Amino acid sequence: MKMVKSLILGSAAGLLAMSGAQAADLPVKAKAVEYVRICSLYGAGFYYIPGTDTCIKLGGFLRVDVIAGGNTDFAPNLGGAGGARNRLSNDYATRARQDLTIDTRTATEYGVLRTFAELVFSWSGGSYTGSSPSAYAGDGIGGGQFGIYNAFIQFAGFTMGRTYSIFDTPWQSYPAGGPDTLPGGGNHVTGVNTLIYTADFGQGISGSLAAQDQQAYDTTNVYNLSGATAAGMITGVYGANDIGGTPSPDLLGSIRVDQAWGLAQVAAVAHDNHAAYYGPTEIFGHPDDKWGFAVMAALSIKNIPTGPGDTINMQAVYTDGASRYNFQSLFPSALAMYGGTGLAGAYQSLAIAGVSDTVFTTGSGQESVTTWGFRGGYTHNWNPYWASAIYGAYAELRYGSLGQAAICANMVTLLGFAGTCNPNFNYGALGFNTIWTPVKNFAFTADVTWGQLDQKNSGTISGPGTFAAGAAKPAAVYQLKSENSVTMLLRAQRNF
């Protein structure tokens, strides 16, 4: 019995040991998976970042453009090789672009803490001159462009970083579509570094104050007209650009009413024109600073009687020493367009124009350049799948007495001008587009724009400066007259 008892106890001990070994081999129970949860606090598309109380939304679009009548993405040929209208430039352009937005929001005791970034990846077609391929805007084979349109933080009424200007309207410079070059107000669609404080008064009424980086986008030129050259004059560069480092950002204020019926907005900006020196070193002296300004008013009317979703957008602007707030950041500051002529003895016609904030001559003070303009558009929805729009823009630029006298003297001396000189100009554009949306968030667009550079000179140029470097134009007699352009955009875009 003693032996049997020992065998039983030994067997039990072995079974317990085996059971312990098998239990040790079993997997430990996994922690509960943190599934991504919908965040309904800030609208559709937001989700909680797992393990946090921060909500995130990803979005963007993919766009494919083809442009006829221009050599950049939806802009007419207003200068350079394109403005020469010869064999040196493409008559079309192409671009593929991916836009990615990242929006995060966290509820705090001070309100919502928000970050927003918009990243842009683009490939634009290039061109050839002779045997040398020329990539557009930094693109290369297998390369492309990377851009940051927005990168800002919002907290307790403050917006800090890169975003749109409070001088801008929600539609930027596209009241109903249209090209990148419509004047008539500001355009910071690619963002600008700024510090903004916004007070919300309720019922869609708000007021904002801002300090904004002026040099990247909001200064055109500060010309020393005494430094003009023939090679520059014939391209619309009327002097030596003498912009100095600025001591002050642009200072802005805006009041906006944004309600179900539409939007009304007024804005103003003060802009410091800070020139460098009359000569190559500081011992030559400099003109005093000249403060400029711009004022803008805008109106948007939604859901007008012509149909659900129909919209009218319009705005007007006046500038004095702050021309970029009318001839906006995507409008060229020097224009030269060639065309045909019926004048006997003339080789071709030419329209030249220059945009500047101020001008001066060596020893003089700065003189402001004044402008005014407007733009507007009407969009009509035929049905949920088809929409059409018409839009237009017009702007004028005027030099003061010092600027006109100096520019005209340079025209005679450097370009052999003969006739009636007037460096002022107008620019107008009119366009029409149709959009087909076969499925939600996917659209095809066809957009056609006519534009005119209405320069005010009347006469001819025939001096040695009539040879335009890079444009393959010979030294000859050219008639100065206004020129027109027609540009068409075909676009496919998928939003997500």
Each domain of the chain, given as residue ranges in start order, spans 33-495
Beta carbons of 328 and 185 less than 8 angstroms apart: yes
254 versus 25: the higher-pLDDT residue is 254
- pTM, rounded to two decimals: 0.89
Q: What is the pLDDT of residues 384-425, one digit of tens each?
A: 999 999 999 999 999 999 999 999 999 999 999 999 999 999
Between 161 and 17, the higher pLDDT residue: 161
The CATH class of 33-495 is mainly beta
For residues 94-113, average pLDDT: 96
Confidence label for 322 from pLDDT (cuts 50, 70 and 90): very high
Angle, alpha carbons 54-60-66 (nearest 5°): 170
- Encode pLDDT of 178-206 as tens digits: 999 999 999 999 999 999 999 999 999 99
d(CA 2, CA 88): 111
Summarize pLDDT for 43-77 with one digit per residue, the tens.
999 999 999 999 999 999 999 999 999 888 888 99
Contacts 24+ apart (CB under 8 A), 329-332: 329/186, 329/187, 329/188, 329/190, 329/217, 329/218, 330/75, 330/173, 330/180, 330/181, 330/187, 330/189, 331/181, 331/182, 331/183, 331/355, 332/78, 332/79, 332/181
On the question of pLDDT at 465 being above 80, the answer is: no
Whether the pLDDT of residue 22 is over 90: the answer is no
Which of 189-198, 230-239, 426-435, 464-473 comes out lowest in average pLDDT?
Answer: 464-473
Q: Looking at 141-191, which runs of residues are DSSP E strands?
A: 145-155, 158-163
CB 315 within 8 A of CB 293: no
Phi and psi at 100, nearest 5°, equal -130, 125
Rounded mean pLDDT of the chain? 90
Closest CA relative to residue 224, chosen from 280, 156, 307: 280
Please determine, for residue 118, whether its predicted confidence score (pLDDT) is greater than 90: yes
Identify the CA nearest to 263 among candidates 306, 303, 211, 308: 303
Residue 28, pLDDT > 90, answer no
The encoded tokens of residue 122 equal 């683009």
Q: Residue 364: what residue type?
A: S
Average pLDDT in the 102-124 region? 96
